[in-house]
Amino acid sequence: MELNKEGLLHLYKVMSTIRHFEERGIPETGQRGMSASVHSSVGQEAVPAGVCAHLSSEDYIGSTHRGHGHCIAKGVDPKAMMAELFGRASGPNKGKGGSMHIADMTKGMLGTNGVVAASIPLAVGAALTSKIKKLNRVAVAFFGDGAANQGVLHESMNLAAVWQLPVIFCCENNGYAESTPFEYASSVEALSDRAASYDMPGFNVDGMDVFAVYEAAGLAIERARAGDGPSLLECKTYRYYGHTVFDDPLTYRTKEEEDYYKSRDPLKLFREKVLPEGEISQSELDSIDTDCLNLMEEAVEFADSSPMPEVSDLYVDVYSDYPISMMKRGTNMSI
């Protein structure tokens, strides 16, 4: 996507949609008794918006436990996502996955994933499919700084480099793996330095600035599409809330640090950069925010009015072909 007026408005709309989805959807999910495993990406909106602006629905992404933003940026319907969070049958996963497993194969969205780093090799595999079938698609593996120290990331980076696959390893470094600071848990100051180990370019950008993300992601994705192999893109970002909604982040970080990052809020930075140029007016952006606010109202209504799964769905989609009688044999299940 070009950053003409339409492109700029798209970037802002994606970020605003993510912001409003998190701010409305997570407490609403909590009120329905299902908040235990929902992770807010408020503060991190610039990364999925800036990266996915270069992707079509044919391209692939793998995502994380903090993955609502990736879904939205890749084009997954927020109303369906809200229904998924509420455990409704109208969710993309029919209420079987929830926040940590939202997938939409029609959008190339290979799933948010509850195991840190587990989706990374899936993106590598999708890139292999693209290469072998000559589809000219790329795959982005989103992961956090916690995943940076998982072995499977390193295996995946090596494999993608050896096979020259069109993969972008995109680290959203928000500074904390749960409560453990990145500087404690990692041997390097910048994860992007590790790209050298796999002979791939390493980009290190300000992940609060959607334009910086957009520019670096563009280079990495162009490279991948040209058949020149993988890149590592580290985006330094911040989550405004805790790991989940239950922890108080001030038990492991400072108010000053939070204030600093909030002063560089991605939506605010966007406005500060774009409004002075005069092509886009404040009211246009305000109106996007209002639309997003209204969309979330609709999403909550849609989700609440959607049916719950049938209890018999418990046994559906475990396999393509397997006797249901074998799934409950010897269990004394009542359904």
Partner 1 sequence: MVEMIPSVGRELLYREAINEALKQEMRLDDNVIIMGEEIAGGAGREHLGIQDAWGGPFRTTVGLIQEFGNERVLDTPLSEAGFMGAAIGASSTGLRVIAELMFVDFMGVCWDQLINNAAKMRYMFGGQVEVPFTMLTRIGAGFGSAAQHSESFYSLFSHMPGLKGVVPSDAYTAKGLLTAAIRDNDPVIYFEHKGLYTQPSLVPEETYVLPLGKARTLKSGSGITLVGISKMTWVCMDAAAELDKLGIDAEVIDLLSVSPIDYDHIIESVKKTHALVVVDEDTPVCSIASDICARVAEEAFDYLDAPPTKVTAPHTPVPYSRVLEDQYVPNVPRVVTTVKSLYEGYR
As measured in angstroms, the least distance from the Cβ of 168 to partner 1 is 15
128 binds partner 1 (CB under 8 A): yes
DSSP assignments along 1-62, one per residue? ---SHHHHHHHHHHHHHHHHHHHHHHHHHHHTT--TT----TT-THHHHHHHTT--TTSEEE
CA torsion angle 293 62 142 71 (round to 10): 0
Q: Does 27 bind partner 1 (CB under 8 A)?
A: no
Q: In 3-state terms, what secondary structure has residue 233? A: strand
Residue pair 166/195 in contact by the 8 Å Cβ criterion: no
Which member of 91, 146, 166, 202 binds partner 1 (CB under 8 A)? 91
- The answer to whether the CB of 295 falls within 8 A of the CB of 25 is no
Assess 326 for contact with partner 1 (CB under 8 A). Answer: yes
Both structure tokens of 293 = 């606010």
Residue span 148-187 as binding mask against partner 1, x where in contact by CB under 8 A, dash where not: ---xx--xx-xx--xx------------------------
Annotate each residue in 61-90 with x if it binds partner 1 (CB under 8 A) or - if it does not, as one string: -x----------------------------
Interface with partner 1, residue 58, by CB under 8 A? no
Which of 25, 95, 166, 202 binds partner 1 (CB under 8 A)? It is: 95
Q: For partner 1, which residue of 36, 105, 188, 308 counts as binding (CB under 8 A)?
A: 105
Regarding 121 and contact with partner 1 (CB under 8 A), the answer is yes
Is the backbone of residue 17 left (phi > 0), alpha (psi -120 to 50) or beta?
A: alpha
Of 55 and 288, the one with the shorter C-beta distance to partner 1 is 55
What are the tokens at 258?
């939070």
Closest listed residue to residue 18, CA positions, set 62, 109, 61, 82: 82
Residue 163: φ, ψ to 5°: -95, 0
Label residue 151 exposed, middle or buried (CB < 10 Å: 0-12, 13-18, 19+): exposed
Nearest CB to partner 1, comparing residues 156 and 237:
156
Binding track over 203-242 against partner 1, x by CB under 8 A: ----------------------------------------
Q: Does 97 bind partner 1 (CB under 8 A)?
A: yes
Residues near partner 1 (CB under 8 A) are 60, 62, 91-97, 101, 103-105, 110-111, 113-115, 118-126, 128-130, 132-133, 151-152, 155-156, 158-159, 162-163, 316-323, 326-327, 329-330
